[in-house]
Amino acid sequence: MAAALARAGMMPNARGHGAIFTLHHVRPKQSRPLQPSGHLEVTPDFLGEAIERLSAEGYEFIPLSDVPARLAAPTKQPFAAFTLDDGYRNNAEYALPVFARYGVPFTIFVTRGFAERTHSLWWETVAELLGREREVTFDFGGGSDILDLTSEARKFDAFDRFSSYVLEVEESTAVSRVDALARKHGIDPLKITADLTMNAEELRSVAVHPLASLGAHTVSHRAVARLSAEDARAEMKQSSDWIEALTGERPQTIAYPYGSRAAVSERDYAIAKEIGFSVAVTTQPGTLCAKYVNRLTGLPRISLNGYYQQPRYVSALASGIPFVIGR
């Protein structure tokens, strides 16, 4: 419906001046026992189709760091900036060649703890655990629960329970307990981190590409809104310090982990500005209009959803109409 409204010229102001797109995994379709985060995966072919569709609709592709200038002095031509979260190795293996083919700049947001192999990707750990087991026992806070994993639906329900647990209790403690459960079942969470994400040397190699930029994504990938102001500031600053030491350039941009309204607050927007970031992005959906000139450390992004890998959906999202209707 949104694409049809846009083609009909309805709600033209919803498009704003442009949009920031967010990706996570970019890789060929995977065949795995459980894929609860399938919405965070797109194929290289779809990424290329998305770029072609936006180009056909007149978008100019710009680095994320150029967004403030474009919002301050907008042109008639809309802009698009591409970002990728977490520093997955497939970003270099599959996404970079697509961006290079079309000459599209992009920013990879790096979680220091993943690159240094000191922190796990709990959602990947849980998916691996639930995908291979038929039953697990875990205490979510009310005593031990035995989780029946004998069907895909039950596995997805269990994944939702673990997700709620991590995002509702003290996060580092929750992740530590999830990791301990995984190890009990023969899974090494830090090996998953090493298998999926780039290390320092790989990131350094990507950073020298003329189209690539590295942005900060904290140290531990915890929701900053749930941390003290001191800890939130340390997570952001230490992530930035590490990237500067790695590449010789201080990152101008940061993405807040998770990026939802519950995961990042007005306090955190102010901290990011104080630290010196020129742009900070959330995962709250929307296009960019003039009001964001004064809110550059709290910008929305549009997620390219793995469940909707058709160019028409890119057009619909870029129109901004779904977000206006949603509000």
Q: What is the pLDDT of residues 5-61, one digit of tens each?
A: 455 455 567 789 999 999 999 999 987 778 888 899 999 999 999 999 999 999 999
- Mind listing the domains of the chain with CATH numbers? 2-118+199-326 (3.20.20.370), 122-192 (no CATH)
Report d(CA 230, CA 298) in Å as an integer: 19
Amino acid at 291: K
3-state secondary structure of 91: helix
3-state secondary structure of 253: strand
The string of pLDDT tens digits covering residues 200-237 is: 999 999 999 999 999 999 999 999 999 999 999 999 99
The string of pLDDT tens digits covering residues 289-308 is: 999 999 999 999 999 998 88
Q: Look at residue 5 in the predicted model and tell me its pLDDT.
A: 47
Report d(CA 30, CA 35) in Å as an integer: 9
DSSP 15-82: G-SEEEEEESEE-SPP--S--TTGGGEE-HHHHHHHHHHHHHTTPEE--GGGHHHHHHS--SS-EEEE
Range 320-326 average pLDDT: 82
Report d(CA 92, CA 100) in Å as an integer: 11
Kindly report the pTM of this predicted structure: 0.94
